[in-house]
Amino acid sequence: MNIHEYQGKSILKGFGVRIQEGIVADTAEQAVEAAKQLQAETGTGWWVVKAQIHAGGRGKGGGVKLAKNLDEVKERASQIIGMQLITPQTGPQGKKVNKVLIAQDVYYPGDTPTAEFYMSVLLNRSTGRNIIMYSTEGGMDIEEVAEHTPHLIFKEEIDPKVGLQGFQARKIAFNLGLTGEAHKEMVKFVTALYKAYEATDSSMFEINPVLKTSDNKILAVDAKVNLDENALFRHPDLAAMRDETEEDPTEVEAGKSNLNYVKLDGNVGCMVNGAGLAMATMDIIKLAGGDPANFLDVGGTANAKTVEAGFKIILSDPNVKAILINIFGGIVRCDRVAQGVIDAYNSIGNIPVPIIVRLQGTNAVEAKKLIDESGLQVYSAIEFKEAADLVTKVLAK
């Protein structure tokens, strides 16, 4: 689950990571109040107005703007709130901005130059260990750095038995070219950041940029946090950070019915039990000349209710020209599922697209008979290839 920058920063702060302080606002008026409060608390004279959406690259898209007085705070905030922000990560349709973070300006002049670093903590799946990835090239696209100057990206792997060691934190500060006070600050920063990552069961913490201020403080200017959904039950406070307005509405709806749904761009809706079979089904749809409109795993206990919920979700996508239901009856009996399909069909009423049902496993033959005798516009199959051929056939019509 993704969360907003302001939420990620509040987690970091709770673990003792120094952050660019800020206050979130829903309206331009609130933004001005937030700016005043921030001035009283931090002494800042300038502010940064930052769009809060679940996507990076906001700066490039015009979603991060400096304001040098309260009038500018108001002006920038009213520009950004409500805008459809397009960044390299949002896709061409962009994302609507509902909130802004009013943050203190941390790029003030001082005794030493400021420096921007990149740092992220994530799981290295090939070794099964967490790594801290960091670079002197902060503030820019890390993919670009990885492509053109990969030697400027460092990795520090953490042994789960002992956790992040002091020497590792010092090595990171050293590799980033830091000495004196800034070096000490970086050691503290990395240590607290890693603690935050572990304690929240996160799958990623990405701080870009990590800033060395002109008075040698190290702080998080940005925070991109991905929480592990499977661990959210252990963190009700983090689960409450979910912002459904940032998620695909059909995916939210599917989640409520315990369906695993991911919207795609194709024309063949699919409903499958088990993620592996769902992937294979998407492949065979491609092979048959179609394009999957979604990934939908109804789980191990498909019944009339889940099938109906699945139908409704698939049908809410106007691109869907056919639906392929592919259920392997291992634990669930195929005739039960077939009855579920028939019941759902009758309860929804007129389903405007052809449906192909492939039921294999326990009671597959009985299931096919039920479908064939139902009198509904449903094509049935037992073999996978047969189902794929039916998809080709109905798409050609």
Residues assigned a catalytic role: 118, 206
Q: How far is the CB of 14 from Mn ion (least distance, A)?
A: 21
Nearest alpha carbon to residue 190 among 170, 214, 175: 170
Q: Which of 156, 222, 246, 308 binds ligand GDP (CB under 6 A)?
A: 222
**Chain position carrying tokens 């769009």:** 51
Task: Compare residues 153 and 264 and give the one whose CB is closer to Mn ion.
Answer: 153
Residue partners of 41: CB distance under 8 A and separation at least 6? 21
Among ligand GDP, Mn ion, none, residue 107 binds (CB under 5-8 Å by kind): ligand GDP
Q: Which of 66, 199, 279, 365 binds ligand GDP (CB under 6 A)?
A: 66
Task: Compare residues 116 and 198 and give the one whose CB is closer to ligand GDP.
Answer: 116
Task: Compare residues 200 and 208 and give the one whose CB is closer to Mn ion.
Answer: 208
Q: Please state, in angstroms and rounded to a whole number, the distance separating the CA atoms of residues 347 and 339.
A: 12
Binding track, positions 214-253, relative to Mn ion; x by CB under 5 A: --------x-------------------------------
**Chain position carrying tokens 């300038």:** 46
* Contact status: 62 vs ligand GDP (CB under 6 A): no
C-alpha to C-alpha distances, 299 to 186, 226, 256, 285, 292, nearest whole angstrom: 46, 24, 14, 20, 19
Among Mn ion, ligand GDP, none, residue 64 binds (CB under 5-8 Å by kind): ligand GDP
* Contact status: 225 vs ligand GDP (CB under 6 A): no
Residue partners of 286: CB distance under 8 A and separation at least 6? 292
Task: Compare residues 51 and 270 and give the one whose CB is closer to Mn ion.
Answer: 51
* Contact status: 384 vs ligand GDP (CB under 6 A): no
* Contact status: 253 vs ligand GDP (CB under 6 A): no
Binding track, positions 103-132, relative to ligand GDP; x by CB under 6 A: x-xxx-------------------------
Which residues in 136-165 contact ligand GDP (CB under 6 A)? 139
Handedness of CA 270, 276, 279, 283 (dihedral sign): negative
Nearest alpha carbon to residue 264 among 203, 313, 328, 327: 313
Interacting span for ligand GDP (CB under 6 A) from 48-56, 248-256, 299-307, 365-373: 48-56
Task: Compare residues 49 and 378 and give the one whose CB is closer to ligand GDP.
Answer: 49
Q: Which of 1, 32, 35, 48 binds ligand GDP (CB under 6 A)?
A: 48
What number of chain residues touch ligand GDP (CB under 6 A)?
A: 18
∠ CA 294-299-301, nearest 5°, is 140
Cis peptide before 209 (omega within 30 of 0): yes
* Contact status: 22 vs ligand GDP (CB under 6 A): no
* Binding annotation for substrate: 273, 330-332
Interacting span for ligand GDP (CB under 6 A) from 101-109, 302-310, 319-327, 359-367: 101-109
Which residues in 196-215 contact ligand GDP (CB under 6 A)? 208-209
Task: Compare residues 55 and 176 and give the one whose CB is closer to Mn ion.
Answer: 55
Extract the tokens encoding 218: 């190290």
Residues within the interface to ligand GDP (CB under 6 A): 20, 48, 50, 56-59, 64, 66, 103, 105-107, 139, 208-209, 221-222
Chain residues binding Mn ion by CB under 5 A are: 208, 222
